[in-house]
Amino acid sequence: MAVIEIDVVSDLVCAWCYIGKRKLEGAIALYQKVYPGGKHDTFKINWRPYYLGYNKFGCSIEKSELAKIKLADWSEEKKVAGTRRVEQAGRAVGIHFKHGGKIGPHTRDAHRFVYLSRSHPPQVTNTLVEKIFEAYHELEKDISSLDVLCEIALEAGVEKAEVDEWLNSDAAADSVDEEAKLFREKVAGSGVPSYFIQDIHRLEGAQDASDFMEIFVKVKEDKPKVT
């Protein structure tokens, strides 16, 4: 049995990071189905923070207003084409993007909740990450809101007392900032999503299953055999 460890560097407001999550999950499912003995291998997914910093205004504002600023240099044709490309890629993996709602000045608390969930079984962290992505990209919720994050954490299976503790503290905030700085340097300007597999192999962007599969097989076949 092999343990394949993956650091996923992403920001929760990044559409391609959400698409990339679904593609990674599809690649893992495919590997475990078709690779000989793959069903016995374990994947350890570490969600690493990255701050894109879309909102520079210090308060929650409409995503559509931020898009106007961020894409001010784009022609209308380019904006339409870019939106269509994201929406088509999303539909292919079961995501239905919506573009309304607000976002605050940072995603630090969202990443903090993900960081704090590491003390729980991996499925809790995975569910929390999935629901934060869904809340922002499909349900048009402001994931900089602590109330929204608390609601999501409860849905992911975290006990209310613990969620209240997260809400009423800055627990892990410094650790998240340190990780975000570390992985921004590690990504080295290439952006997110980025994937570091076994801390040796690297992929960037929302890759197809075949790209992940190639590396999974290499990791498996390069693993020293126990005699």
**Identity (one letter) of the amino acid at 224?**
P
User: Mean pLDDT throughout 177-189?
Assistant: 94
pLDDT at 189: 79
133-150, pLDDT tens digit by residue?
A: 999 999 999 999 999 999
Structure tokens belonging to residue 148: 């929204």
**Identity (one letter) of the amino acid at 127?**
T
As a whole-number percent, the residues of the chain with pLDDT over 70 amount to 98
DSSP 8-class letter at 226: P
pLDDT at 223: 64
61-103, pLDDT tens digit by residue?
A: 999 999 998 899 999 999 999 999 999 999 999 999 999 999 9
4-18, pLDDT tens digit by residue?
A: 999 999 999 999 999
Domains of the chain: 3-222 (3.40.30.10)
32-49, pLDDT tens digit by residue?
A: 999 999 999 999 999 999
pLDDT at 182: 97
pLDDT at 224: 54
Structure tokens belonging to residue 131: 């629901």
Helix (H) or strand (E) holding 192: none
| pTM score above 0.85 | yes
User: Mean pLDDT throughout 166-177?
Assistant: 94
pLDDT band at 119 (very low <50, low <70, confident <90, very high): very high
Mean pLDDT (the chain) is 94
pLDDT over 60 at 225, yes or no: no
Q: Please give the angle made by the CA atoms of 58, 63 and 68, to the nearest 5 degrees.
A: 95
Report the C-alpha gap between 104 and 48 in whole angstroms.
20
What's the burial of 39, exposed, middle or buried (CB within 10 Å: 0-12/13-18/19+)?
exposed
Let me know how long the chain is: 227
- Which SS3 state, helix, strand or coil, does residue 194 take? strand
What is Dmax (Cα atoms) for the chain? 62
**Beta bridge mates, 10:** 49
53-62, pLDDT tens digit by residue?
A: 888 888 999 9
**Identity (one letter) of the amino acid at 71?**
L
